[in-house]
Structure 1
């Protein structure tokens, strides 16, 4: 969710995801390096298999074809059908949410973690 919000430029959503990841126990290093995940060593193969289709699905207008067969196969290799469907749904929903935040000019910085629990 954080990576999609970073790409989409939704400050509100990036703020929510960053703080909620910290509250959930994610390490600051991994949160800080999400934007440069390809050039780091802190993400597992499973993480990368989710980040790649997230980026391709988020940059769908730039990709001229959406998620590549290779990225899809890599994600499918690490997830059963239910979890793969959940990943696809999450990518679509976070992108819709990001667009709502950008269009309505929601600003990041004031989110209180746990607020949406």
Structure 2
């Protein structure tokens, strides 16, 4: 499989990605656990069918100590017993924010209020930013038909 555009050598997309990467670092600095962010990014990528991001975030999660059980069950987190209530709230917010067109009015007040039980305002802002960011990455990769499978964990820092 060959990509339609090279995301990293195209000058326009290169500038866009530079800013997207800088935005992603903001979420890490707000106090949301790295494990939660990886699960959020993995789940959104599964929903969006982005093989590049599923590959990357599954491998990054494992690289940072996440168990295979938790990585493998994230698609079925509602039925799995291996996630904390805070992680469940983040995953619920991820699904609602990723499937925003599926629900009249977008993210429901119930989903938002549940997340406020576990995350302060800055952490919620970071989660919103991370969810928006991974959805952007998913769309970039899917639209340009980026091939997946050869990501090496830890290569981005």
Using the size of structure 2 for normalisation, the TM-score is 0.73
> In 2, Cα distance between the equivalents of 1:110 and 1:36?
25
Q: CA deviation at 1:64?
A: 2.4
> In 2, Cα distance between the equivalents of 1:24 and 1:35?
19
Match 2:139 to one of 95, 99, 102:
99
Which structure is larger by alpha-carbon Rg, 1 or 2?
Answer: 2
The residue aligned with 1:23 is 63
> In 1, Cα distance between the equivalents of 2:78 and 2:146?
29
Runs ≥4 in structure 1, deviation > 4 angstroms? none
Q: CA deviation at 1:82?
A: 0.7
Match 1:8 to one of 41, 48, 51:
48
The residue aligned with 2:8 is none
The residue aligned with 2:153 is 113
- Is the helix fraction higher in 1 or 2? 1
> In 2, Cα distance between the equivalents of 1:114 and 1:64?
39
CA RMSD of aligned residues (A): 0.7
The residue aligned with 2:123 is 83
1:20-99 alignment to 2 at 5 Å?
A: 20-99=60-139
> In 2, Cα distance between the equivalents of 1:51 and 1:43?
10
> In 1, Cα distance between the equivalents of 2:108 and 2:54?
25
Using the size of structure 1 for normalisation, the TM-score is 0.97
Q: Any unmatched runs of 5+ in structure 2?
A: 1-40
Count residues in correspondence: 117
> In 2, Cα distance between the equivalents of 1:107 and 1:75?
34
Instruction: Give the structure, 1 or 2, with the largest relative contact order (CA under 8 Å, sep 6 or more).
Output: 1
Q: Secondary structure at 1:15's aligned position in 2?
A: helix
